[in-house]
Structure 1
């Protein structure tokens, strides 16, 4: 059992939890809690850390048999965990990496294994969320989780967007980070040009939008552009959009939280696609 917070493994976990640079350099991140850890496969996990109490439960013990794991004291678990009341299990997980080409319509069918067998319905059209410099980890995690629920096919972010492997993001995705492909791009304008050349129509949630969001057609290959919480989209990114849209507001509300606005748009796209498939 690891009982000291000075242990090298413990220090490494704390470093991975606290520093994005460490996560990038080691190509790993920290995931906490039974629900999240239970979704991990052995090939994704570098090491599981559990308390003695957690490991003593028969069901947990059987599950742990398939993973590399270490037992730590309650004090050490509290020291390593980002949450105030850890559930007794924490994982160091290998990061996943995608290429932008895998998220685009022509490549994504094979790369993401969404192609349909002969005689079956074809893959759904692309529905991408494209984020520019979102800073709040909670917003990012919520967009990813809501996006899975709405059926998005991928998430594209510039490098100034919050680290998707931040512990707060990981917790708020509730496992969606394991199922929704995502990519960071060095040059957002170049990436948008590549996305458009693949036949994806881009919609920008923008104050200059003339049409309400529910007046547009989202049944084809589409992408939604969402900007920074305070500043919105840069002029350069907004100029790449094919259409500006707005979410009409009642009362004195001027705008919505980025995650809420994203959810409104994603679920409108999902609604339209359901209706279209039923015709």
Structure 2
């Protein structure tokens, strides 16, 4: 079981339905509207609620930004590739090599805001980082379909067979991302700055794209910055 801290994380964990929530811990002095909403939702879902002194919550929590609300919940239920393709015009993201849980959370937060329909990643145990990912994503990682794929290349092939065009953030043989056509079913693949995208993803690319810089820069943007720039070009084109 994992402790999630703060109202945003607790609401996301509780409302997404992708975890079993064992109980909520709430500061016995909290009586604001947000807390009242959380308590109503917990009652509807028959989630036990315990009211604790703030000092006891401080001792249980890992930090001091919990706002007096904690949730004890189980492992996340991950989705299948098909769950990312349900939108009429899917926007699927492939993330490779983003290993810092804070950065991964920021990427989820951006993708959720940009209308992404699901995230594909290689198989990895994120158990010990889930609370950090949920918090840094402001709960977005619980809302988005998230697939951990034993074979990420095969997952991308499945998306392409369903009619998605694969754009890879890769400099070789690339066009400016402003010139790409994102107003169609698509898979956007972005790698971390250390290792980039895997060979199996790159060899499937329908078109490589690059972010044009305003001055000569030898090093690439980090993965989360690239996610932000490109995903909101998707938003702009689809408006």
- Which protein shows a greater Rg? 1
- Structure 1 unmatched ranges of 5 or more: 1-15, 17-28, 110-122, 275-279
Q: Structure 1 residues 61 and 237, CA, compared in 2 at 3 Å: closer, same or farther?
A: closer
Shift of 1:233: 1.1
Give the one of 86, 102, 119 matched to 2:83.
102
Indicate the RMSD between aligned Cα atoms, in angstroms. Answer: 2.5
Change (3 A) 1:227 1:129: same
Which residue of structure 2 aligns with residue 45 of structure 1?
Answer: 21
- 2:118 aligned residue: 154
2 CA distance for matches of 1:218 and 1:247?
A: 14
Structure 2: 5+ residue stretches without partners? none
What TM-score do you get using the length of structure 1 for normalisation? Answer: 0.73
Which residue pairs with 1:169 in the alignment? 133
Measured after TM superposition, the shift of residue 138 of structure 1 is 1.8
1:103 Cα deviation after fit: 1.4
Q: 1:58 to 1:210 in 2, by over 3 A?
A: closer
Deviations 1:226-260, CA, capped at 9 Å, x for gaps: 11331111223211211111111123433112111
* Aligned counterparts of 1:199 and 1:173: Cα–Cα separation in 2: 29
The total of aligned residue pairs comes to 228
Task: Tell me the CA shift for residue 213 of structure 1.
Answer: 0.7
Deviation at 1:262, TM superposition (A): 0.9
Aligned residues of 1:126 and 1:200 also touching (Cα < 8 A): yes
SS across alignment from 2:29 = helix
The question of 1:64 aligning with 2:55 is answered no
| CA distance in structure 2 between the aligned counterparts of 1:268 and 1:42, rounded to whole angstroms | 27
Q: Is contact 1:204-1:245 (8 Å) kept? A: yes
Distance 2:148 2:65 in 1: 32
CA distance in 2, matches of 1:96, 1:148: 18
The CA distance in 1 between the partners of 2:128 and 2:90, in whole Å, is: 21
Matches within 5 A, 1:211-250: 211-250=175-214
**Which structure carries more relative contact order (alpha carbon 8 Å, separation 6+)?**
2
With structure 2 as the length reference, what TM-score do the two structures score? 0.84
